[in-house]
């Protein structure tokens, strides 16, 4: 059942472009060999990895560069990496931070990021880190959509 759904979804872009269903390029055929949820999980763990798996090198590089730069700038501005939750806003912030995947875990283990925001720029840095995580989630979902054929 799930296989049938994936198959029909994969045929949508070909139908949109007017191409024959069997006329998929080699790159498209190879991207269909990747397990359905792998681009989603890989894209969450490492920014851009989902697109790289699907051989979308340019898109992946731009997404990875943007998300990594945003996360690094957040850390450089002494932004806070959430580790504990005190209220609902902290919970949302932690959810955003977790969107960074391995970046968040490695940074926590390395002791990067401030424990407490003390200057205005550090508050901006905290937002940069949270938004980098949210953008990474959007990027991972986009990779999943490319894999299933909802997007070309």
Partner 1 sequence: MTHFAAVVLFALFASVVFGITQRETPRSMVRYGAYCFVLFVGSAIALSWIMFLIAR
State which residue, 2 or 18, has the beta carbon closest to partner 1: 18
State which residue, 53 or 88, has the beta carbon closest to partner 1: 53
List residues binding partner 1 (CB under 8 A): 59, 62-63, 65-67, 69-70, 73, 77, 120-121, 124, 127-128, 131-132, 135, 138-139, 141-142, 151-152
**Residue 9 CB, nearest approach to partner 1 (Å):** 15
State which residue, 62 or 95, has the beta carbon closest to partner 1: 62
**Residue 10 CB, nearest approach to partner 1 (Å):** 15
Per-position DSSP letters for the chain, written without gaps between them: -HHHHHHHHHTHHHHHHT--TT---HHHHHHTTS-TTHHHHHHHHSTTHHHHHTT-HHHHHHHHHHHHHHHHHHHHTT-B---S-SSHHHHHHHHHHHTTTHHHHHHHHTT-SBSS--SHHHHHHHHHHHHHHHHHHHHHHHHHHHHHTS--
**Residue 61 CB, nearest approach to partner 1 (Å):** 10
């Amino acid at each position: 059942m799930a296989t049938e759904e994936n198959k029909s979804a994969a045929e949508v872009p070909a139908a949109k472009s007017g191409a024959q269903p069997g006329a998929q390029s080699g790159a498209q055929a190879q991207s269909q060999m990747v397990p359905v949820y792998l681009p989603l999980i890989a894209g969450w763990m490492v920014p851009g990895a989902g697109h790289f798996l699907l051989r979308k090198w340019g898109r992946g590089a731009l997404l990875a560069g943007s998300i990594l730069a945003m996360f690094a700038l957040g850390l450089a501005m002494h932004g806070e990496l959430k580790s504990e939750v005190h209220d609902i806003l902290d919970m949302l912030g932690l959810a955003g931070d977790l969107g960074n995947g391995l970046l968040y875990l490695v940074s926590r283990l390395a002791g990067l990021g401030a424990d407490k925001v003390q200057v205005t720029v550090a508050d901006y840095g905290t937002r940069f880190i949270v938004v980098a995580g949210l953008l990474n989630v959007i990027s991972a979902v986009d990779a999943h959509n490319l894999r299933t054929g909802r997007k070309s």
